[in-house]
Chains A and B, each alone.
Chain A
Amino acid sequence: MLRLLSIALLLAIWWIAALFVGGAKLPAPPVVFHVILTEAASGALFLHLGATLARVALAFVLAMSLGSAIGYLMGRVKLADRLGDPWLILLLNLPALVVIVLAYIWAGLTEAAAIAAIAINKLPTAVVTLREGTRALDRSLDEMAAVFAMPRWRAFRHVVLPQLAPYIAASARSGLSLVWKIVLVAELLGRPNGVGFEIGVAFQLFDTPRLLAYSLTFAAVVLVIETALVQPFEARATRWRPRAA
């Protein structure tokens, strides 16, 4: 209820601002919604959204699985940490734009290059978060598992993984928001479809309603995925914690 009220307030502010600024720079909400409806009717909206979501999904899964594995290794094995740390610092501080441009130069304007570039941007933050999580693992529980001779997989699943779950959830969350941002840049620079491509076109034509139409639908999809997928996962991962009253 409070959320709906907050969204309504945002719409109201937008509308009032549109009245002051004028339709060319900031079109009023009905104009934008009209564009959304026509784009949806023609199918273009879903095509571009779908292309973007597919890229997000692939890059996200790739970066999360690889990043978690590397982070766990670096948290557990000192040598891996020593060797990997300089690379990690380099990757962390490499601007997203550089990675994307280089990927397109080296691998061509291909889907693989786009997805790899997005994944590489997300990878180091996943590594850092999971390394931190692995370092914080409770040694005394490892000892318990060792004394009771728990097989490796059972110990990993029941002793280690639940401790990492909050870190995985945090990394997924921050990673998703990072991927959302970077995917549009990658599309703008070198893809013939997707929300980023459409925004690029709208920018060249100074078509503000179209630009807002695509950005808002995209934001709405992000919001839905966050509340429908990420938050329930987080809640499940921490369900054993006594809840705050």
Chain B
Amino acid sequence: MRLEVEITGKTYRSAAGGPHEVLAPLKFALQSGEVGVLIGPSGCGKSTMLRIILGLDREFEGHVARPPEARIGMVFQEPRLLPWRSVEQNVRLAAPEITDAKLSELFRILELEAHRNHFPGELSLGLARRVALARAFAVEPDLLVLDEPLASLDDALAGRLRDEIATLVASRAVMTLLVTHSLDDAIRLGDRLFFLSSRPARIVQEVPISMPRAERSEVELARIRAELAALLLESK
């Protein structure tokens, strides 16, 4: 499976009347098993881009090729859980085919066992984010889209969830698109980093990281970070 995105432009009319250009022409592709990371300043149009890729926004110029049968797992910036359904029901409604064993395993990994029967209103934001992750993983997606999934989590938990994402990505041929502010998340998880400009967003730099995720030691990560810094400085 392969995701191909070619957007030639996206404008919207603001309440004041004038047209605003949100996205400049941009183009990228993603293979199964690859993690693409979109990194860019706040408000640069990342969310708009995701909405286009997910098929929620059809008013744009260009073309998105996404296998029609691809199952999508999505973690939105806000958890977007159904407040009137329990944690378990929230996951099961998105993934009706999940077995009890798999669900239990998922809840164990994300430390949600104690909260199965809670309603989202009773959870902290960090917990709600974990439920949103559980829901996205539960559908066993072909395309996994993560919109800043680790924001506002403490370092230890963010690290663990990052490892879980890495495990999931490794276990199945899934195309992953991660939106983040954190360069650290990007170089630990990404295979291909797309650095975006401020609005209207375009891709300033596309940086592949060829080293397999599992082999990236702290030393290697430091080296990649230094290389990136040099590269980004150069492009400015």
Contact = CB atoms under 8 A, between A and B. Distances in A.
Contact of B72 (A141, A149, A159, A241): A149
Interface in B30-82: 51, 54-56, 71-74, 76, 78, 80, 82
Nearest to A144: B80
B84 A154 contact: no
Contacts of A158: 82, 85, 89, 93
A160 to B, nearest CB: 11
A221 interface: no
A132 to B, nearest CB: 19
A140 B74 CA distance: 13
A162 interface: yes
Given A146-B56, A240-B83, A240-B121, A154 B72 contact: no
B24 to A, nearest CB: 24
Contact of A147 (B54, B78, B95): B54
Interface residues on A, range: 10 to 19
B90 to A, nearest CB: 9
A245 to B, nearest CB: 14
A95 interface: no
B122 interface: yes
A13 interface: no
Main secondary structure of the interface of B (DSSP, over half): loop
B139 interface: yes
Contacts of A159: 82
Contact of B121 (A140, A144, A242): A242
Given A140-B78, A162-B82, A162-B84, A154 B93 contact: yes
A149 B66 CA distance: 14
A174 B51 CA distance: 40
Nearest to A163: B84
Contacts of B54: 147
Interface string B92-108: 01110000000000000
Main secondary structure of the interface of A (DSSP, over half): helix
Contact of B56 (A141, A147, A241): A147
Given A147-B74, A148-B72, A241-B121, A141 B94 contact: no
A149 B142 CA distance: 13
Nearest to A148: B94
A21 interface: no
A150 interface: yes
Interface string A206-245: 0000000000000000000000000000000000111000
Contacts of B55: 146
A159 to B, nearest CB: 6
Contacts of B135: 148
B195 interface: no
B106 to A, nearest CB: 15
A141 B80 contact: yes
Q: Which of A141, A144, A240 has most chain B Cβ within 10 Å?
A: A144
A162 B82 CA distance: 9
Nearest to B143: A147
A196 to B, nearest CB: 40
A202 to B, nearest CB: 48
Q: Which of B51, B72, B82 has most chain A Cβ within 10 Å?
A: B82
A166 B84 CA distance: 12
Interface string A131-170: 0000000001101101111100010001100100000000
Contacts of A140: 76, 78, 80
A112 to B, nearest CB: 39
B121 A148 contact: no
Given A147-B56, A150-B93, A240 B119 contact: yes
A144 B74 CA distance: 8
A240 B84 contact: yes
Contacts of B71: 149
Contacts of A154: 93
18 contacts: A140-B78, A140-B80, A141-B82, A143-B56, A144-B74, A144-B80, A146-B56, A148-B72, A149-B71, A150-B93, A158-B85, A158-B93, A162-B84, A162-B85, A240-B119, A241-B83, A241-B121, A242-B121
6 tightest CB-CB pairs across the interface, nearest first? A162-B84, A240-B84, A148-B94, A144-B80, A147-B74, A240-B119
Given A143-B56, A147-B56, A148-B72, 4 more contacts: A143-B51, A146-B56, A150-B94, A240-B121
